């Protein structure tokens, strides 16, 4: 499948789906976690109701969009080393 078509499909995904896809394989991780593909994450977060992350970020507390997505959408608490679900 051509990369343009794959990106067009992936660009429609929500943040939890993007996280899952980024964990599927090294190829997907490189594709989705590249700085050049940040627009995919920004668009997904905006569609999910997140505020503009660029406006909220300063030099001293710059977190990546993927870090924020993992913190909000991941079903594993790394502090407690436990899984949880809101379903």
What is the 8-class DSSP label of residue 56?
H
pTM over 0.85: no
Task: Tell me what pLDDT residue 86 has.
Answer: 54
The residue count of the chain comes to: 87
Q: In what helix (H) or strand (E) does residue 11 lie, and over which residues does it extend?
A: none
The structural domains of the chain, with segments of one domain joined by +, span: 3-83
pLDDT of residue 51: 74
Q: Yes or no: say if 46 and 11 are a contact pair by the CB < 8 Å rule.
A: no
Tokens found for residue 53: 């992350």
Pick the closest to residue 15 from 84, 87, 75, 72 (CA basis).
Answer: 72
User: What is the residue-level pLDDT of the chain in tens, covering all 87 positions?
Assistant: 788 899 999 999 999 899 889 889 999 989 888 888 888 988 998 898 887 766 665 554 545 777 777 777 777 666 666 665 555
């Amino acid at each position: 499948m051509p990369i343009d078509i794959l990106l067009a499909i992936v660009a429609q995904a929500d943040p939890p789906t993007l996280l899952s896809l980024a964990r599927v394989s090294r190829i997907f991780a490189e594709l989705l976690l590249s700085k050049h593909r940040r627009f995919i994450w920004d668009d997904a977060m905006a569609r999910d109701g997140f505020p503009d992350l660029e406006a909220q970020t300063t030099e001293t507390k710059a977190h990546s969009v993927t870090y924020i997505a993992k913190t909000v959408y991941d079903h594993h608490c790394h502090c407690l080393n436990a899984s949880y679900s809101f379903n």
